[in-house]
Amino acid sequence: MPGHKKALFESLRSLGYRIDSPNDFLPAIVHGGGPKSGVVGVSVAESSQFASALLLSSVPGRWDVQITDGHPDNLPYVTMTREMIETFPVQGGDYAIEPDASSASYFWAAAHLLDCPLTIHQWPDSHWQVDTRFPAYLPLPATVSRETDLGDSILTAIAMAPFAAHPTAFTDLGRLRVQECERVLALRTELSRLGAMVQEVGDTLIVSPSSHLLHGGTVQTYHDHRIAMSLSLIGLKVPGVIIHDPACIRKTFPNFYLKWADTPPNGLGGSILDPVTRQTLPVHSLVVPATI
């Protein structure tokens, strides 16, 4: 997401902490001082991660967290954080971390587009993650909302939409504009670059059936892992799609392209080519070193 941290910094300052930063961007110096009891309000207008960060620190920090604006599209992630805190074994013990449903959405989508059977092991069943709903949106309905239906996996659904049998309206996308990149603009631009029929109306993207118009080309990823992985779906059906800066997937899924190309049952069994030599890249070369 963008570097601006004003909402988080203001929340910490309201508790009495001193934070030095240029214009509320990183880098920043946080001056400690131990726990500071109190009630801290935080906005989730820009990111639910600010609220989650404060919640995770609330026990040692001795503060209570209140959400000052309850945007529905952010609250599922806040709720998940609260549930994790409630169930975490603070006195010690084992704690199972669910697999990421948002990242699994690309493979649900791939199986749907290719009309092939797929098994995703250890699919989360707690329903904490909003994107566990993704399989219920296959095939795509006429309308999908970022507020009430899906979380990050709505990007996956948007990339699938040119192959749908009917126009699909993706609504309430305003939050996507302030994440790792301006995702609404990015998806409209890059899908259109490949020939898809995409219309932007306010915070809605309307994608019309246009698989017959799709063609190869180089798409930009805007250093955004989810833009890269979503647009890779087009390459499953359309030859010649070149992903610029595919290594940006390292943020959340460094072996994504390995899973794309590895032989079943460990992967989809696809071929990923070097854009210059047009030679198939060896599977072992497709793991991008993760970053912290």
* Judgement on whether residues 14 and 68 belong to the same structural domain of the protein: yes
Question: What pLDDT, on the 0 to 100 scale, is given for residue 292?
Answer: 44
**In the chain, pLDDT over 90 holds for what percent of residues?**
75
* Judgement on whether residues 170 and 145 belong to the same structural domain of the protein: yes
* Judgement on whether residues 136 and 208 belong to the same structural domain of the protein: yes
List the 197-201 sheet strands across, edge first.
143-145, 168-171, 204-208, 197-201
Domain containing residue 110: CATH number: 3.65.10.10
Q: Tell me if 92 is assigned to some domain.
A: no
Q: Tell me if 96 is assigned to some domain.
A: no
* Judgement on whether residues 186 and 57 belong to the same structural domain of the protein: no
Task: Write out pLDDT tens, residues 164-221.
Answer: 999 999 999 998 998 899 999 999 999 999 999 999 999 999 999 999 999 999 999 9
Task: Write out pLDDT tens, residues 139-148.
Answer: 999 999 999 9
Q: Tell me if 249 is assigned to some domain.
A: yes
pTM: 0.88
Domain count along the chain: 2
* Judgement on whether residues 225 and 107 belong to the same structural domain of the protein: yes
Residue after which a domain boundary falls, among 52, 87, 122: 87
Q: 270: helix, coil or strand?
A: coil
Which residue range(s) make up the domain with 36? Answer: 6-87
Q: At what angle do helices 48-56 and 6-14 cross, to 10 degrees?
A: 40
